[in-house]
Structure 1
Amino acid sequence: MSTLPELSNHVLISTAEPCPMCAAASVLSGVRAIIFGTSIETLIQCGWFQIRISASDVVAASTRPTRPSVYSGFLSHKTDLLYRNSENRRAMNPWTDPSH
């Protein structure tokens, strides 16, 4: 198994809260911080399918000696609108879109 690159001088910034897999990869690679706008709970309220495990919970469950800081709600007044107004909510889900 190859090792992940060390990213201790990097910050992950996203319009939406990282999924559990991306949050775990961020922790394991050593990013300094995770910053996002729209939360998983807000995504769910907007109709987006999600796994209800927060980035903060993933970070807290880590045994890595250094863990990233998690900052939620960054520009959420703008990012929430992206997800609330999107007409393509289910377009990426092959289970609900018969055209896939």
Structure 2
Amino acid sequence: MVEITRLFWKKAYTADNFELGEVHSAELDMSTWQITSLYVNLTDEATKKFGFKQPYLGRVTVCLPVSAVKAIADVAMLNQTLEELRNLRQCKE
């Protein structure tokens, strides 16, 4: 088991070794008490590659399903490339 706060602020890398950003927070399914998604603050370069406009203050945050995570140790390694993540639609508000 891992304390949830140990996941935060780890750098996230895609399967093609592109630095996506840092894990900012997580979404918890209260009925099962399982993490369903991770929220990642994108780097400036990742923001451009995703086609988002860079905000004046702060960062763009994206939601990734836990199924996109390969492993978490010193960094969060994803099992999808940047291009695959661009087509992913996980979180709906």
Same fold, TM-score > 0.5, yes or no: no
| TM-score bracket, shorter-length normalisation | under 0.3
TM-score (normalised: structure 2) = 0.24
Which entry has the higher C-alpha Rg, 1 or 2? 1
Larger strand percent? 2
TM-score (normalised: structure 1) = 0.24
